[in-house]
C-alpha cells in the first residue's frame, strides 16, 4: 500500500464519535506501513523499560530516539517542510509524513494526527535483507543509515520495512534545480557529504530515509539543542509535539516523558523494537 493510498484510506475511514483516543491510535496503527498491524500500549514504567532496550549497549555512546505527543500535534506539517528544507530532498522523497485526522472534533477530544519518521529500530529488518550491506545501524548511536555509494537500488529494504519509512530516489527535481538557479548549487548536508544533485549520480537511484539529521552532530556524536543543532522536525514543531534525545540519558526530555506518560510503539510484536514512541 502506497502512502497516498494510506492517506486516502484514513480520510475515508471510520469516525470514532464515541471511541477512545487509544482505539483511534490502534486503528491508525493498522495502516502505518502495510497490512501487519499492532500497537502495544506502554504505561509509564513499561515505556521506560522498552526505551532501555535489551541488547548489550556497553560500547554505545548514545541511543537516540523520538517521543511524539499525539495530544499536541496539530497536523500543521511544519515538520515535513522543515525536513525537506534541511535535507534538500527531491519530489517524492519524504523522511517524515503526517497522517490526517481520524477522529471528529469533540468537546472531550481533538482531531488525531500522527507524525511518522523512520523508527531507527534496535533490530531493523531492513538491514537484514540488504544484499550489499549498504544499510546498517551505526554502533555509536544506533541511527540506521544508508551508504549511497554502496546502495544498488534493489529496494529490498523498502519491502522489509514494516513501517514504510523508506523512499526511492527516481531522479525527480524541483523546478529550481532544473532551471539551474542558485538553489541548485546548494548541496545537501546529508551524512556530511554535501553532494550536489546531478544526473546519474548518487543519491539518485538509491533508497533514502530519515537520518535523525545526524549531520548536525558534533565530532563527539552529540547534538546541541541550544545552538539549533537538532533534528529539523523537532526543532520546527509548532505544537512542541516532537521530542528528540538520548533515550538512555536521565537528563533528556525523552527519558522523563516515557516515565511519566502512557506511550505506544507500533508493530511491536514484530520484534523490531522501534525507537519512536507515541504518547497518547
Q: Which phi and psi angles does 215 have, rounded to 5°? A: -65, -10
For the record, the C-alpha cell of 256 comes out as 522523563
Query: What confidence score (pLDDT) does residue 47 get?
Result: 67
Do 96 and 80 meet the contact criterion of CB atoms below 8 Å apart? yes
Q: Is the pLDDT of residue 34 over 70?
A: no
Here the cell at position 267 is 508493530
260: pLDDT strictly greater than 80: yes
**Is the model's pTM score more than 0.95?**
no
Q: What is the pLDDT of residue 110?
A: 72
Q: Which residue has the cell 519491502?
A: 159
Q: Measured between alpha carbons, how far is residue 23 from residues 42, 64, 92, 250, 256 in Å?
A: 14, 28, 31, 31, 25
Q: What is residue 180's predicted lDDT score, i.e. its pLDDT?
A: 87
CA distances from 104 to 10, 20, 28, 73, 122 (A): 12, 12, 14, 15, 35
Q: Per-residue pLDDT for 36 more than 70?
A: no
Look-up: residue for cell 532501555? 52
Burial pattern 15-26, b for ≥16 Cβ within 10 A else e, equals ebeeeebeebbb
For 3-279, CATH number out of 3.40.1190.20, 3.30.70.20, 3.40.50.300, 1.20.1260.10 equals 3.30.70.20
Instruction: Mark out the alpha helices in the chain (DSSP H runs).
Output: 3-12, 21-31, 44-52, 78-87, 125-129, 156-160, 175-178, 232-236, 253-260
Query: Which residues neighbour 24 within 8 Å (Cβ) at sequence distance 6 or greater?
Result: 16, 102, 103, 112
User: What is the average pLDDT value for the chain, to the nearest integer?
Assistant: 85
Measured CA angle at 158 (ends 157, 160), to 5 deg: 60
The ranges assigned to domains in the chain are 3-279
For helices 253-260 and 44-52, the axis angle rounded to 10 degrees is 140
Q: What is the 3-state secondary structure (H, E, C) of 16-73?
A: CCCCCHHHHHHHHHHHCCCCCCCEEEECHHHHHHHHHCCCCCCCCCCCEEEEEECCCC
| pLDDT tens for each residue of 218-247 | 999 999 999 999 999 999 999 999 999 999
Q: Contact at 8 Å (CB) between 36 and 271?
A: no
What confidence tier does 13 reach under pLDDT thresholds 50, 70, 90? very low
Residue 109 has pLDDT above 70, yes or no: no
- Which has the higher per-residue pLDDT, 204 or 10? 204
Amino acid at each position: 500500500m502506497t502512502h497516498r493510498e494510506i492517506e486516502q484510506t484514513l480520510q475515508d475511514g471510520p469516525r470514532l464519535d464515541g471511541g477512545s483516543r487509544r482505539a483511534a491510535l490502534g486503528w491508525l496503527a493498522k495502516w502505518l506501513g502495510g497490512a501487519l498491524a499492532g500497537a502495544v500500549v506502554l504505561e509509564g514504567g513499561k515505556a521506560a523499560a522498552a526505551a532501555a532496550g535489551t541488547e548489550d549497549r556497553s560500547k554505545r555512546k548514545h541511543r537516540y530516539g523520538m517521543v511524539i505527543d499525539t495530544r499536541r500535534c496539530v497536523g500543521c506539517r511544519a515538520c515535513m517542510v522543515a525536513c525537506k528544507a534541511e535535507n534538500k530532498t527531491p519530489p517524492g522523497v519524504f523522511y517524515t509524513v503526517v497522517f490526517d485526522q481520524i477522529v471528529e472534533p469533540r468537546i472531550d477530544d481533538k482531531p488525531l494526527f500522527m507524525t511518522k519518521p523512520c523508527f531507527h529500530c534496535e533490530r531493523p529488518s531492513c538491514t537484514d535483507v540488504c544484499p550489499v550491506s549498504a544499510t546498517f545501524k551505526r554502533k555509536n548511536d544506533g541511527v540506521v543509515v544508508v551508504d549511497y555509494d554502496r546502495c544498488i537500488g534493489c529496494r529490498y529494504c523498502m519491502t522489509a520495512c514494516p513501517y514504510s519509512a523508506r523512499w526511492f530516489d527516481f531522479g525527480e527535481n524541483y523546478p529550481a534545480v532544473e532551471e539551474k538557479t542558485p538553489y541548485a548549487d546548494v548541496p545537501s548536508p546529508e551524512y556530511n557529504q554535501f553532494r550536489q544533485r546531478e544526473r546519474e549520480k548518487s543519491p539518485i537511484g538509491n533508497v533514502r530515509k530519515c537520518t535523525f539529521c545526524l549531520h548536525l552532530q558534533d565530532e563527539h556524536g552529540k547534538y546541541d539543542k541550544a545552538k539549533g543543532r537538532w533534528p529539523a522536525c523537532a526543532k520546527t514543531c509548532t505544537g512542541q509535539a516532537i521530542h528528540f534525545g538520548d533515550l538512555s540519558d536521565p537528563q533528556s526530555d525523552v527519558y522523563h516523558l516515557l516515565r511519566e506518560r502512557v506511550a505506544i510503539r507500533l508493530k511491536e510484536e514484530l520484534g523490531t523494537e522501534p525507537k519512536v514512541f507515541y504518547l497518547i
